[in-house]
Structure 1
Amino acid sequence: MKRLFLTVLLLAGCSAQETEHLEVTIEASKQNVEAFEPITITAQIEAGEKPVTENAEVDFELINPNGQTIGTVNPINNGDGTYSIETSFDASGVYRIISHVDYEEMHEMPEVEVKVK
């Protein structure tokens, strides 16, 4: 009986490895812009404190002030763990940009807001 219990404990210990954590930070080059003024949106992606430079699926969802999705854009992989787009907005209001990031079996979707005057 002791041998069975010890075997179960050893197996449980082997499967209790720490899961890698996905960290995504999204930023806008400017928080307040004029209509049609270009801005850069960048997502910094790390897994286990290391930059994710490949094998990530990344999309930026652009949402207008009415809460409707304008569209989804595939950002450029800059090769250093950052993914970016350059865009502009044509009307005043607060726009939201949500980054949808899938890496291995993890998913994160942080967002940033940009106010257009």
Structure 2
Amino acid sequence: MKKIIILLAAVFLLAACGQNETKQENSGESTEVHPLEVNLKVPDHANIHEKVSLTAEVSYGGEAVEDADEVKFEIWKEGEKEESKMIEAKHEKDGQYTIEHTFDENGVFFVQSHVTAKNQHNMPKKQIVIGELHKGGASTGENEETANHTHEHSQGSVDIQLELPTNVKANAETLIQTKIQAENAPLLNANVRYEIWKDGSDKHDWVDAAGDEKGTYEAKYTFSSSGTYQIQVHVNNDEGLHEHVTKKVTVQK
């Protein structure tokens, strides 16, 4: 009788273990993470006092994002970033967030959308020329990429330096560094991520960077093939800082 009881107990125990393993396998299914995509639509030129429509098309994994946490447009005249205006966008449909804005003077202006959704932040920027400068030739934009391997970007008292090795090789691990200072002191405990994509490709890779006590944020990345890539470092913190810097890099075979 005791043998029968022990045998039945063993059967129930094995069945319970099987069910537990199945539950663990099901609960371990991971959700694929996609980059937050923002298509910023800004006309190249407009007339002074003309009402201009500015739109950010937001998508995630190929699907329109209808419930973004925040979408705002920052607008400023060239050389006057400190006097920028921040305007909250209205959700229209199909992941489109729009504002209408009237520029009250001629010149070169910049429009940057600040989009937060799916626990990500994306801030594309475009230029618009208002009035007469359209014919005379406009600026090519702020913070143009150069051949230097150190790119500097400043907003007020924040300085961001994105650094890469001199020679970057395909299929070799590459160290990416960003040095960040605020008020002439290292910026600590920031959220720093690298967005990396090859020119002409829709695939964007995201890499989290780790920071140290000197305000240096590092990550390692392996480029799968040679060609021209874009690296955009996204910097934000709990105090409302939202900045990014983009650098072009040529990857050798």
TM-score by length of structure 1 reads: 0.79
Letter in 2 for 1:43: A
Name the counterpart of 2:95: 81
Change (3 A) 1:42 1:55: closer
Letter in 2 for 1:56: D
Q: Distance in 2 between matches of 1:91 and 1:114?
A: 12
Residues 64 and 95 in structure 2, CA contact (< 8 A), matched pair in contact too: yes
Name the counterpart of 1:71: 85
Q: Distance in 2 between matches of 1:97 and 1:64?
A: 9
Q: Say whether residues 1:34 and 2:47 are aligned partners.
A: yes
Alignment of 1:34-73 (within 5 A): 34-68=47-81, 69-73=83-87
Q: Distance in 1 between matches of 2:127 and 2:114?
A: 15
In the TM superposition, residue 16 of structure 1 has moved relative to its aligned partner by 7.1
Residues 71 and 114 in structure 2, CA contact (< 8 A), matched pair in contact too: yes
| Number of corresponding residues | 104
Aligned pair partner of 2:39 in 3, 11, 25: 25
Letter in 1 for 2:87: V
Letter in 2 for 1:22: L
Q: Distance in 1 between matches of 2:113 and 2:35?
A: 17
Letter in 1 for 2:114: H
Structure 2 unaligned regions, length at least 5: 1-24, 132-253
In the TM superposition, residue 15 of structure 1 has moved relative to its aligned partner by 8.0
Letter in 2 for 1:67: E
Q: 1:72 is paired with a residue of what secondary structure?
A: strand
Q: Distance in 2 between matches of 1:15 and 1:96?
A: 43
Q: 1:94 is paired with a residue of what secondary structure?
A: strand
Letter in 1 for 2:91: N
In the TM superposition, residue 21 of structure 1 has moved relative to its aligned partner by 1.6
Name the counterpart of 1:3: none
Q: Deviations over 1:31-85 (max 9, x none)?
A: 2112111110000000111000014311101111223243100111003200000
Q: Deviations over 1:3-44 (max 9, x none)?
A: xxxxxxxx9xx587632221001012x321121111100000
Residues 34 and 61 in structure 2, CA contact (< 8 A), matched pair in contact too: yes
Residues 75 and 111 in structure 2, CA contact (< 8 A), matched pair in contact too: yes
Q: Distance in 2 between matches of 1:17 and 1:73?
A: 33
Aligned pair partner of 1:114 in 119, 125, 128: 128
